[in-house]
Chains A and B, each alone.
Chain A
Amino acid sequence: MAITGKAVLAAFTGTLVVLIAGSVGTWLLWTVLIALAAAIVLDLVLAPSARKVVFERDGDSSIRLGETASVTLLVANPSRRTLRGRVRDAWAPSAGAAPRAHTVRIPAGERRRFTTTLTPQRRGDQRAAGVTVRSVGPLGLAARQCTHAVPWSVRALPPFHSRRHLPGKLARLRELDGRHSALVRGQGSEFDSLREYVPGDDVRSIDWRATARRDGVVVRTWRPERDRRILLVLDTSRTSAGRVGDTPRLDHAMDAGLLLAALAAKAGDRVDLLAYDRRVRAQVRTHGRGSRIPAIVQAMAPLEAELVESDPTGLVATILGGHSRTRQLVVLLTDLNAPAMEEGLLPLLPALTSRHLVMVAAVNDPRITEMAAGRGTARAVYTAAAAERALTDRRRITAELRRHGVEVVDADPDHIAPALADAYIALKAQGRL
């Protein structure tokens, strides 16, 4: 139950009445108190039960972060009296639910629809916390209150800001396609088609046998091999919790990974996903033809960085023990953290690089670069020295990784996604996939 402001007002009015007319006798005091108590009890009795209200939910269950979802709540009043009062559809604070509560008036036996809009501030699943009904009595003095569990969840998917780079990268990808015969034949290229020679084509690509059978000159075209396998590995250990700008490293990695996945899907490659710290947090495997970008997006959505040290041995074992025995491109989205890498991943790299092509992508922190440029005061120079040391470590680990034959993509948050896409396109152009 709950008391309304009106009951408080009534009690204060009663106080005033007793104060002014108290001299008539004690019976006035008792009358006021009993009348107040009776009115409150009567109101409670006459208010329709908040417990018996029936709910139904509907609405969006999946949005991209930054968008607004609307979730509707159908409130049915099965009682024989009009339900008046407030209904609160409670969500976690970061869900950005609005309005906080609805003022309702539902006649007996009818139902009403209320819409709550959610603007999540974080990626991941937002779950409805409960619906509270406060049913006020006819006098408006007291109310019956009950909270119901009405489950619903809205998944905020990664925002995929880098999708604006997609058309440009797709255009570059098409340049590699068979329509351009100028392409040099490489390891990962396959025969595409024969077509008429047009001025400008490389004369080395003329297929003389075919030309001999026809009137005109015929050239061979090549295209990059399709159906290569790409494994995106998201490192969800402690290093990915660090925020670059206002966003965790993990989210930058997801953004870059999604652009690569979308691009690879268009290029006809198959993309798998593995999120790993000390155990597998998420895994998406592609079976058969075609890519499963939606599945990857869904799998990424609830991932959070765990505050544990990563386990490179387990990671390498998981990658090598995967269902695919064939060569694949392993894109490791992590941080170039020198001590962690030197102790963990570096010694295990040969096992990985002997079977697969490995690419490491990491976001560098513009703040470090900014710190390294500090001059003038002693404090600024000490800061610059510390930042310089971090940068030197990073350069050293990058050189070390390249020595192991690993492709390293190291770019600031704004450029990591296009840089990773470019690295992929370059590999494809060289036929190294």
Chain B
Amino acid sequence: MTAIGTAPSAPPSETAPTSVGPADLWRRIRGPVGFVSALVALAVLVSLGAERPPEGLLEPEGPNPEGTRALVQVLQQRGSNVTVARGTDDAVAAMSGKSVLVLAGSHRLRPEELDRISAASGDRVLIQPTGPALQALAPGLEMTGRTDADTLEPQCGLPAAQAAGSADMGGELYTLASERQAADPAEKSAGCYPGQGGAGDALVQLDGGTGTTTVLGTGEPLTNARLAHEGNAALALNLIGDRDVVWLLPDPHVENGQASLVELLPRSVRMAAVPLAVALVLLALWQGRRLGPLVIERLPVVVRASETAEGRAGLYASRRARDRAAAALRAGLISRLRPLLGLGPDATPGAVVAAVASRTGEDPVSVRALLYGPDSTTGADRFSADDAGLVRLADELDRLDGHLR
């Protein structure tokens, strides 16, 4: 019947590509790309010439608190030629009869390397050596204890220690094995900075055939942080002296001859990983590319018309508002009954009760209690005392309603 009207408006026939073309794309991204490249260039420029010095425990080039760059520089200023060796080969090549070898990090040396060092001539200063190092370079010396005290007194005749006085020598303590002492009484040894209870000395100097070997129980006095404390600097300089120094801090040993899991795989499998990665990237691109952009839509609000009533019902129930609920039920019934009883909207309660009582033949007092609740004089409403009463009220009102229809 009702004719469908004309089209809303002649649909425009202007068609145009909306995807970004290469030129558009370039125009869009050149800003961000330029910004990022400028940042990268700036970062590269700033980082040039700012090489980070190596850091580590007793690191001769390390400015960190545990490093020993300060001592090395002091030695250099005093005319010593300090050679920093990172491997046994360098160290042995640099060592001579007049040089002193400072060995830190002996745990990184293998037995054959220790043997090569012990064969080389020259004085040696061992800093907190490991058991094998002790055995190879200072035979007969044993680690016999530790002390936690920071500062120790020299208490010996060694000039270097005596001149330096107390120093931060708290650490490992050594004792020369007694059989060794008995076997070769000609060998001179001096122990300084003893720990409490005679557990040993923190500094032991042995005079061997090829030169003296000094064992320090700790590298603490040599570090940048502690060099200026007590007699630390004096002790270190006295021990090392004005000779050429070879400072050996071996690099961590790289194990050769062991193949990793990847190396054990067949070559073709390793090679196939590259096309596999390409295939996975292509898979992601294939699945990730949508056929056109998402379409957005303005959705209408979905709200039930009965929402207010339902909300009010929830409030009544949660607060147990029986009086409100009873009043609503009663008012609803009365407003429905009034036209049936031939009464106007302004009928008094008395008139309503009288009309209902005469139609149903019930007791006006009970009808009044049902329809209007108790008077202020007669006390509490028996219907709104509990939930069961409210359910009963609803049923009673239904019964009355059924009677009158």
- A contacts, CB < 8 Å to B: 2-5, 7-8, 11-12, 14-16, 18-23, 26, 28-29, 32-33, 36, 51, 54-57, 61-64, 86, 88, 90-94, 101, 122, 125, 129-132, 134, 145-153, 155, 157, 160, 163, 166, 241-244, 248-249, 258, 262, 293-295, 297-298, 301, 304-305, 307, 335, 363, 365, 367-368, 371-372, 375-379, 381-392, 395-396, 399
Contacts and interface: CB of A to CB of B under 8 A. Distances in A.
Given A8-B282, A262-B2, A305 B301 contact: yes
B30 interface: no
A372 B332 contact: yes
Contact of A11 (B1, B271, B278): B278
B282 A11 contact: yes
Contacts of A295: 5
A367 B282 contact: no
B279 A12 contact: yes
A242 B303 CA distance: 5
A389 B332 contact: yes
A281 B159 CA distance: 106
Given A57-B11, A93-B295, A382-B316, A147 B17 contact: yes
25 contacts: A7-B282, A7-B286, A12-B276, A19-B269, A19-B272, A21-B268, A62-B8, A93-B297, A94-B299, A130-B18, A130-B292, A145-B291, A146-B17, A148-B18, A149-B14, A152-B11, A241-B300, A242-B307, A293-B2, A304-B300, A371-B309, A371-B313, A375-B395, A385-B324, A388-B328
Contacts of B295: 90-93, 129-130
Interface stretch (B45-53, B64-72, B131-139, B386-394): B386-394
B267 interface: yes
Given A262-B1, A389-B312, A18 B13 contact: no
Nearest to B293: A147
A131 B17 CA distance: 9
B297 A54 contact: no
A104 B395 CA distance: 70
A2 B289 CA distance: 6
B394 A293 contact: no
A314 B295 CA distance: 37
A322 B12 CA distance: 34
A3 B15 CA distance: 26
A258 B388 CA distance: 49
A381 B391 contact: yes
A392 B328 contact: yes
Given A148-B15, A166-B1, A365-B305, 18 more contacts: A3-B285, A7-B282, A15-B275, A18-B268, A22-B272, A28-B271, A62-B4, A145-B291, A149-B15, A149-B17, A149-B18, A151-B14, A241-B300, A368-B309, A378-B391, A381-B391, A386-B309, A399-B345
Interface string B10-29: 01111111110100000000
Nearest to A6: B286
Most chain B CB inside 10 Å of its own CB: which residue of A11, A92, A149, A399? A11
B313 A385 contact: yes
Interface in B113-165: none
B7 interface: yes
B42 interface: no
B244 to A, nearest CB: 50
B251 interface: no
Contacts of A155: 7-8
Interface string B304-337: 1111111011001100010011101101110100
B40 to A, nearest CB: 27
A291 to B, nearest CB: 10
A15 B5 CA distance: 62
Contacts of B326: 385
Contacts of A2: 285-286, 289
B186 interface: no
A191 B7 CA distance: 41
A392 B274 CA distance: 77
A15 B328 CA distance: 78
A18 B272 contact: yes
A107 B394 CA distance: 78
Contacts of B328: 385-386, 388-389, 392
A32 B200 CA distance: 71
Contacts of B13: 56-57, 151
A214 B266 CA distance: 124
A62 B395 CA distance: 54
B6 interface: yes
A61 B13 CA distance: 13
B292 A147 contact: yes
Contacts of B16: 148-149
A152 B14 CA distance: 10
A298 B5 contact: yes
Nearest to B274: A29
B3 interface: yes
A317 to B, nearest CB: 28
B270 to A, nearest CB: 8
B8 A61 contact: yes
A33 B12 CA distance: 48
A145 B289 contact: yes
B183 interface: no
A372 B313 CA distance: 11
Contact of B301 (A88, A307, A385): A307
A122 B300 contact: yes
A33 B268 contact: no
B387 A378 contact: yes
A73 to B, nearest CB: 10
A376 B391 contact: yes
A86 B292 CA distance: 11
Contacts of B363: none
A390 B309 contact: yes
Nearest to A125: B8
A101 B292 CA distance: 10
Nearest to A93: B297
A3 B293 CA distance: 16
B390 A378 contact: yes
B78 to A, nearest CB: 57
Contacts of A21: 268
Contacts of A383: 310, 313, 317
Contacts of A391: 332
Complex A-B, nearest 3 residue pairs according to Cβ-Cβ distance, in ascending order: A22-B268, A132-B292, A294-B5
Nearest to A385: B325
Contacts of B316: 382, 385-386
A404 to B, nearest CB: 14
A300 to B, nearest CB: 11
Most chain A CB inside 10 Å of its own CB: which residue of B6, B21, B275, B388? B275
Nearest to A11: B279
Contacts of A134: 291
Contacts of B271: 18, 22, 26, 28-29
A329 to B, nearest CB: 20
A367 B19 contact: no
A61 B5 CA distance: 10
B16 to A, nearest CB: 5
Nearest to A71: B11
